[in-house]
A and B are shown apart, each in its own frame.
Chain A
Amino acid sequence: RKEVEQDPGPFNVPEGATVAFNCTYSNSASQSFFWYRQDCRKEPKLLMSVYSSGNEDGRFTAQLNRASQYISLLIRDSKLSDSATYLCVVNTNAGKSTFGDGTTLTVKP
């Protein structure tokens, strides 16, 4: 079993839809969590950190469930420009980062 698992998708949604991705992690010592966005054949870019209380940045909401060991990303009012692969990242207290393989989102007109 991978340390960090994501549904690879693809998720195909129409513009304006709400879509949610989950990411599960196996190491209970995990301390910090992030969502990255990666466009085709480009570098991953930090989208947002995930805080214990949940956090929102515009149309994006991230949540953490430590008891069930998963994080989620909710995108509201999807735009064509949201089409990308979304990577979740989990850091342990030893400073190790583990990347999920990503979930691919395609937003269609």
Chain B
Amino acid sequence: NAGVTQTPKFQVLKTGQSMTLQCAQDMNHNSMYWYRQDPGMGLRLIYYSASEGTTDKGEVPNGYNVSRLNKREFSLRLESAAPSQTSVYFCASSPEGTYQPQHFGDGTRLSIL
């Protein structure tokens, strides 16, 4: 049982390049999330999708777009990468409901030069 799968695991970009981070879950969860974590810092929510067909901004959405392609997949796109977006990106999913914890993928380590 794979859980939450993120691709790629590592990526180096040049300033101004674009890329899409992929996330898929096989737990039939309704809600999915994208976070970033900078060195020595806590998690910050970028975007989330409470259910298929809906997306909402989190704490730090600027510079990012998301697509909830279907119930399984939630992608994060950087249209024009900036060095300030160098970070570790985590995708998470959870069943619907207040009492459910989130389950995380193992992250994408992104460096922007």
- Residues of A with Cβ closer than 8 Å to B? 31-32, 34, 36, 41-46, 49, 87, 89, 91-95, 97, 99-102
Contacts and interface: CB of A to CB of B under 8 A. Distances in A.
Majority SS at the chain B contact face: loop
Interface in B80-98: 88, 90, 94, 96-98
Nearest to A48: B101
A99 B98 contact: no
Interface string B38-54: 00011100000010000
14 contacts: A31-B98, A42-B106, A43-B90, A43-B104, A43-B107, A44-B43, A49-B101, A87-B42, A89-B101, A91-B98, A91-B99, A95-B31, A95-B98, A102-B42
For the residues of A in contact with B, the DSSP-based class is strand
Given A42-B106, A43-B106, A92 B98 contact: yes
Contacts of B41: 101
A41 B41 CA distance: 11
